[in-house]
Amino acid sequence: MQTRRLERLLATPPALRRTPQDTDPAAWSGRLRDVVERLARIDREPTTLTAAPAAESGGLWRQEITFRSPGRGPFAATLLAPPGDAPRPTVLVCGGRNAGLGKLTGAERPDHPDRNVAELLSHEGLTTLTLSYGVDGGLSTPGRAGRDEASLLAHAFAVTGRSLLGALTSDALGALEAIRSHPRVDGQRLAVFGHSLGAAVALHTALLAPRPLPLCTASHLGSYAVLYARLLTGHEGAVLPGILEYADLPDLYGAAGPAPLHVQYGTADPYLEADDAKAAAALIETSRAGYGEPAEIRELPMGHGSHVPKAARFLTRALSRPPVPPAGLPAQRLSFDAEERRAVLDRVDSALATGVLSQGPHTGDFEELTRTWTGTPGAAVSSGAAALEIALRIIDVRGRTVLVPVNTFFATAAAVVRAGGDVRFVDIELDGLGLDPGDLRTALDTHPDTAAVVPVHIGGLVSPALDDTLRLCRERGVPVVEDAAHAFGSRLGDRPAGAFGRFGAFSFFATKPATSGEGGLLTAPDDEDLERVRRWRDHGKSAHGSTLHDRPGSNWRISELHAAVGTVDVLRFADTLRDRQAAAVRYDELLGDLPGLRVQPVPGTCTSNYYKYLAHLDDPRRRTPLRRALRQRHGVSLAGEVYGELLCDHPYFADRTPHKAAGEFPRARWFADHHIALPLYPSLTPAEQARIADALRAELP
């Protein structure tokens, strides 16, 4: 009965197999890689290395290395290099299950002619790094009862929801990143070789490496259905749990493009089936269509081994070419690692299981967690724009003036219009990009009917001029609604953004420093105001659960699914904020002396979340051609300005709202014309920032 059930499961095509509709191979590959990372639960903790003194042996330079990471502990490796001090193209060698470190590197007598593959490749002029898998000697001999330790470890990892393959791949990825700076290693020319079980490690390492890696494997080709259900030769440590729901083995090889690929299989291999391997080879070619270079798939008259000369020729040829260019640097890159995605999925699953999809426990958790960063209780809503509109409706701005900065996003002023108010614009000051106190005073005097003032914390800066705004409004009894859409986690002195006015409105849109995908938050220190927010967001119900309505509210609720995302993102926000601020410091160092560009300073009393890293061009006419040149010649996309057009220039307000002539907003217009925003996000690496700085130096005078 169970075998029939298994047969039905195996007959179901993988969900992410490439189809003719997948015309963009990179996009298809990206989707598959994301699934692989989630199933593998890769540990990307920083890996360090300790190197023993090197020695010459058998005509090669040999060094024993110990890698270490906080979670994985130490694991051993051997680095082999040809004579000479120059850095060489380097191959990570992943041996088969029975290939120990000594045999792979020639320190011990090989028990098969091709077992010492690392030694042989180094004699061909390549540096090799060979890892110990650490699957021998860790489990007690009596408990093993003669069983294979790697298989037992694979079962034990499965109990924890993880996989041995994921653990081995984590080691390989960490070691590759750590070895890049070794003096015998050309960190820009790395490749991966694997045999049998090691081929699975090599394949998954190539799939999940930050940049494309040439891949060479041997004795690891076919379909999971044949290897694990018919031949029963598949090793437990060579597969990710649940992978066949999404992809089969040849799909994974196909997704390893666009880097060069060489796959060997033997016609006399007792662990593979020749016809199954041929079918897999055809599927690999189909999956790689569009990459421009076909895979080298070699059917060879051998058993379960490796043809080292062919592998050496492929690796030498692949590593002699210019490296595959790095992917373009996007303006924004949102990243949830595998553990964080699993945490979101667990919360979504609980919402779906209970059927509570709105105003449930995840919304409450989200609201409570945000208070750590706002210092004020808040109610979660569907968007930052909804938060602004609710605040203005509670104040009741109908038929009265609301003052907003002329340099802000359209939603700030549109919320006033939807709430029935009349928008009037105020110039900004350039030190902290807040409302200009002098222009605000004039506007308040000109419009004695002002119902509210909406300062905006542009780019994550909370301007010291906010104190003047608060004083001027307090003197006239005008409430302040902070538009803190950019400023979650930013501070002025010891007070967080959102804690200064009667209300603080935050956005958790996908591009914001903290995100729920879609969502917002409205904070209020007054309990009655907060209760009003909850009524407005739920269609204006007169009480929770009531069927009666006493105000014209709307569906401004956040869903439990969005709150699940937001909860996980806010839980990691301390790390997010630290990474954004560290990236800003690196930019300060890289760009401090760049001609033609001046970095926007952060006022001394402000702690910015660096939603945007802003800089000013000496010549504003350079902005459009600079954006184009950076994208086309360097693959660097600048982030969106904040903002390139003043609100008074938008057709809606130009036609409907009286405002000063364009020359009356000199500071806002200067800022709108001159500034650019550089890519900045937690996953931005120092190397990527250096690449951005080099691109700017190449394009600016």
Tell which of 571, 600, 629 closes a domain: 571
On whether both 163 and 69 belong to a single domain, the answer is yes
Domain-embedded: residue 27: no
Tell which of 571, 588, 623 closes a domain: 571
Number of domains in the chain: 3
Domain-embedded: residue 7: no
Angle between helices 25-40 and 197-208 (to 10 degrees): 120
pLDDT value at position 661?
58
Domain-embedded: residue 12: no
Among 178, 199, 196, residue whose Cα is nearest residue 233 = 196
On whether both 533 and 615 belong to a single domain, the answer is no
Q: Residue 353: which CATH number?
A: 3.40.640.10
- pLDDT confidence tier of residue 147, bands split at 50, 70 and 90: confident
Domain-embedded: residue 206: yes
- pLDDT confidence tier of residue 545, bands split at 50, 70 and 90: confident
pLDDT value at position 354?
96
Q: For residue 111, what are the domain limits?
A: 32-136+145-320
Token pair of 310 as six digits:
């062919």
Tell me the per-residue pLDDT of 504-535, one tens digit each, with 9 for 90 and over: 999 999 999 999 999 999 999 999 999 999 99
Domain-embedded: residue 1: no
Tell me the per-residue pLDDT of 231-271, one tens digit each, with 9 for 90 and over: 999 999 999 999 999 999 999 999 998 999 999 999 999 99
| Residue 130, SS3 per DSSP | strand
- pLDDT confidence tier of residue 370, bands split at 50, 70 and 90: very high
Q: Residue 285: which CATH number?
A: 3.40.50.1820
Residues found in the chain:
701
Who's near 676: CB < 8 A, 6+ residues apart?
A: 614, 615, 616, 617, 623, 626, 627, 638, 641
| Residue 354, SS3 per DSSP | helix
pLDDT > 80? residue 325: no
Q: Please tell me the distance from the alpha carbon of residue 168 to that of residue 74, in angstroms, as a whole number.
A: 13
Tell me the per-residue pLDDT of 605-617, one tens digit each, with 9 for 90 and over: 999 999 999 999 9
DSSP state for residue 646 in the 8-state scheme: -
Tell me the per-residue pLDDT of 659-685, one tens digit each, with 9 for 90 and over: 655 568 999 999 999 999 999 999 999
- pLDDT confidence tier of residue 70, bands split at 50, 70 and 90: confident
Average pLDDT, the chain: 94
On whether both 566 and 582 belong to a single domain, the answer is no
On whether both 58 and 152 belong to a single domain, the answer is yes
* Range 50-64 average pLDDT: 94
pLDDT value at position 663?
66
* Range 412-435 average pLDDT: 97
On whether both 45 and 150 belong to a single domain, the answer is yes
Domain-embedded: residue 325: no
On whether both 540 and 599 belong to a single domain, the answer is no
On whether both 417 and 562 belong to a single domain, the answer is yes
Q: Residue 583: which CATH number?
A: 3.90.1150.10
pLDDT > 70? residue 310: yes
Which pTM was predicted?
Answer: 0.87
On whether both 528 and 464 belong to a single domain, the answer is yes
On whether both 182 and 55 belong to a single domain, the answer is yes
pLDDT value at position 137?
75
pLDDT value at position 514?
98
DSSP state for residue 517 in the 8-state scheme: B
Give me the percent of the chain exceeding a pLDDT of 70. 99
Tally of CB atoms within 10 A around 142 = 6
Domain-embedded: residue 22: no
On whether both 255 and 342 belong to a single domain, the answer is no
Say how far residue 697 (Cα) sits from the centre of its chain: 27
pLDDT > 70? residue 559: yes
On whether both 565 and 603 belong to a single domain, the answer is no
pLDDT value at position 379?
98
pLDDT > 60? residue 292: yes
Domain-embedded: residue 241: yes
Identify the helix (H) or strand (E) that includes residue 450. strand 450-453
Name the least confident of 12-16, 136-140, 404-408, 694-698.
136-140
- Looking only at the bridges linking them, the beta strands covering 378-381 and 261-266 are unpaired
Identify which has the larger pLDDT, 321 or 353.
353
Tell me the per-residue pLDDT of 630-664, one tens digit each, with 9 for 90 and over: 999 999 999 999 999 999 999 999 877 666 555 68
On whether both 544 and 583 belong to a single domain, the answer is no
Tell which of 320, 353, 388 closes a domain: 320
Among 641, 638, 669, 376, residue whose Cα is nearest residue 499 = 376
Phi, psi of 543 (to 5 degrees): -160, 160
Q: Give the helix ranges, DSSP H, for 488-607.
A: 527-537, 560-571, 573-591
